[in-house]
Amino acid sequence: MWILMHISLGVIYAFFNPITIFLELIAFILGLYFAVTKGNSQIQFMQCLVYLVSIEIATRSQDILPHEFVKYGISILMIVYLLVNSKELKTEKYTWLALLYFFLLLPSLLIGEYDELEKPINVISFSLSGPISLAVSCSFFSRYTLTINNLLRVLSFALYPIILSLLYIIIKAPNIKDIEWALGANFESSAHMTGPNQISSIFGLGLFILFFTIYNKFYFSGYRFIDILFFGILLFRTILLFSRGGLISGFLAIITLYIFDILLKSKNASEKFNKIFQVIIFIVLSILLFNIVNDITNGTLYKRYRGEKANTEITGEIDYFSNREQIIDSDINIFLQNPIFGIGPGLGKHYRDKYLGWGASAHTELTRLLAEHGLLGILAAIIIIYLSIVSIKKNKKIGIPIVASLIVLSISTSFHAAMRLAMVGFIFGLSQLTIKSNSNKKNYV
């Protein structure tokens, strides 16, 4: 019912964009309802959060709700839930570290030169909304223990908005044969829904979740074949975006899940062989699909992933990071000039525009922390690393593959898309869960 409903909504969305705004608001209101309602509503509440995180790419470009609505929305919902249910929830001794991570980013506000900006509040909000959602998500999820099946029930709700977005792109994007393929992210193949990099990030999340469900025989649709078909269609459209970050991040998370699962979980030889065989088939089919798309694009896809530029054949220059290394270099130079507090949240783009003649926001969260928050930003990054280690150590063999893959997905996404999406901070917060084995196995949502 949910899948068919979102297929229908995807068709409506293609011709009436504001439908996604209504869905986002409904998810927020339902989340608020579950937050203030006493009783066993934790899973439903978490499903609302995941739904909001996933639908963000379908609403951002419409400029109806504030640009950072989802980041602040999920933060508000989790804070309300914690306040209402504080007596029933366990206390996590490392929660204060997540809050410290955020508070370390505030002193640079005092030295930032915001008087030259037209709307400084927007710049500050853009830079701090991600860290806020990360800190609150860590504080919230670190208090919970979930079975694998319950976690899959939660994560599966991210796939419904992805169905909606996928349908929009399939309907609205030009015929593949009519698209002009170039050595950059392709706005035509994304149907101009929003930036290809952001769509790719959410689709990468979807690929990971689908692999996770199929791998655990917890079929999203109820049928293994349909789930595999959905994975193939989503992978096909993700590759066509020509935005490499989301695809690579999703596959890094999948590889992390698989390697840790094989190494840590006790399996007999036949079970391990079966898992290895399944993944080999998965890799072969993925490579085959990649080659098919490369043929469709007349070889441009391979060139894109090799980092070739329009003049590479003449100059021999390779650009693996789509000019992001220039932003990274400028971030490091800003840090060296302002090592203690940095220049203030959100001012990296303004600095580049003023002194270098080109304004671009940071795409790598680590170097943004250096440039805009200085040494305090380094401490904040160390806290993130420490929380990752704490989460892996507190989980047993059953949970380590899952939390490790969530950490990899979040951090690798932050290296190419910073914290533009609520997904980055939220998924890292989700990695702070304690995972336990299922008491009753079932193969459907």
The 3-state secondary structure of 406-436, one letter per residue: HHHHHHHHHHHHCCCCHHHHHHHHHCCCEEE
For residues 324 and 241, what is the distance between their CA atoms, to the nearest angstrom?
18
Q: How confident is the model at residue 437 (pLDDT cuts 50, 70, 90)?
A: confident
The pTM score is 0.93
pLDDT at residue 263 is higher than 80: yes
CB burial of residue 439 (10 Å; 0-12, 13-18, 19+): exposed
For residues 411 and 418, what is the distance between their CA atoms, to the nearest angstrom?
9
* Long-range contacts of residues 291-299, Cβ cutoff 8 Å, at least 24 apart: 293/236, 293/239, 293/240, 296/176, 297/181, 298/181
Lookup: tokens for 32 = 């608020």
Q: What is the pLDDT of residue 92?
A: 72
- Side-chain half-sphere exposure of 134, counting CA atoms within 13 A: 30
pLDDT tens digit sequence for 237-248: 999 998 899 999
pLDDT at residue 154 is higher than 90: yes
Lookup: tokens for 314 = 């003449």
Q: What is the pLDDT of residue 445?
A: 40
Q: Average model confidence (pLDDT) for the chain?
A: 89
pLDDT at residue 90 is higher than 90: no
pLDDT tens digit sequence for 377-409: 999 999 999 999 999 999 988 899 999 999 999
Q: What is the pLDDT of residue 320?
A: 67
Nearest partner of 70 among 422, 398, 348, 440, judged by Cα:
422
DSSP secondary structure string for all residues of 234-275: HHHHHHHTT-HHHHHHHHHHHHHHHHHHHHHS---HHHHHHH
pLDDT at residue 37 is higher than 80: yes
pLDDT at residue 291 is higher than 70: yes
Q: What is the pLDDT of residue 267?
A: 66
The H or E element that residue 312 is part of is: helix 312-315
